[in-house]
């Protein structure tokens, strides 16, 4: 297992955001480990997704269901489809364990989701817990902390 340099970790986060912006959801889903999770806490500083309610805490199976729903011709709530745009601050490598092949990368973001005449802006921080599997980086957990995570939200249709 070869260590990944700082730039490779940053490039991974940028490539992941671009996949979402380009609606390449199958490619995006393939970035997750089989036991991977996508977590969006409901409260600032939340430390455990299982003991507290979250906005989202989805394993790869639930992520697959959402991706298939987004691709479905009978998903009338997505006709026309939602679109999104990520604007990322320069990601920072928070931790790196080359020997174990484990990394944590954090980035502040502005995320815009739009459908028809409605445009919604979200701001927050994403933390990617990455692991090396077969020489490639994979997402073990993506945690999305919204600035206003405890606010009332309408539907969030895509992925931040």
Give the pLDDT score at 123.
Answer: 96
In a domain, 19, yes or no: yes
Q: What is the pTM of this model?
A: 0.92
3-state secondary structure the chain: CCCCCHHHHHHHHHHHHHHHHCCCHHHHHCCEEEEEEEEEECCCCCCCCCCCCEEEEEEHHHHHHHHHHHHCCCCHHHCCCCEEEEEECCCEEEEEECCCCEEEEEEEEEEEEEECCEEEEEEEEEEEEEEEECCEEEEEEEEEEECCCCCCCCCCCCCC
Number of compact structural domains in the chain: 1
Half-sphere exposure of 116 (CA within 13 A, CB side): 4
In a domain, 155, yes or no: no
Question: Is-contact 27 16, C-beta < 8 A?
Answer: no
In a domain, 153, yes or no: no
In a domain, 26, yes or no: yes
Residue 147's Cα: distance from chain center in Å? Answer: 15
In a domain, 157, yes or no: no
Q: Say yes or no to pLDDT of 49 above 60.
A: yes
pLDDT digits (tens, 9 = 90+) for 74-109: 766 667 788 899 999 999 999 999 999 999 999 999
- How much of the chain exceeds pLDDT 90, in percent? 74
Structure tokens at 16: 């992941």
In a domain, 114, yes or no: yes
Give the pLDDT score at 42.
Answer: 94
Domain at 123, CATH number: 3.10.450.50
Our CA dihedral for 60, 89, 86, 69, rounded to 10 degrees, sits at: 10
- Which residue is associated with the tokens 């933390």? 127
In a domain, 156, yes or no: no
Provide the residue range defining the domain that includes 81: 6-146
């Amino acid at each position: 297992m070869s260590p990944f340099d700082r730039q490779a970790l940053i490039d991974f986060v940028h490539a992941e955001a671009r996949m979402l912006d380009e609606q390449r959801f199958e490619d995006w889903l393939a970035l997750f480990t089989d036991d991977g999770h996508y977590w969006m806490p409901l409260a600032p500083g939340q430390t455990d997704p299982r003991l507290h309610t979250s906005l989202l805490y989805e394993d790869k199976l639930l992520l697959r269901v959402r991706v298939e729903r987004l691709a479905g011709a009978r998903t009338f709530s997505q006709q026309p489809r939602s679109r999104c745009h990520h604007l990322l601050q320069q990601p920072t490598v928070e931790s790196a364990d080359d020997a174990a092949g484990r990394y944590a990368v954090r980035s502040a973001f502005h995320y815009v989701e739009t459908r028809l005449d409605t445009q919604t802006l979200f701001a927050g921080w994403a933390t990617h817990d990455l692991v090396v599997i077969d020489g490639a980086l994979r997402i073990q957990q993506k945690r999305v902390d919204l600035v206003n995570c405890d606010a009332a939200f309408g539907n969030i249709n895509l992925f931040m």
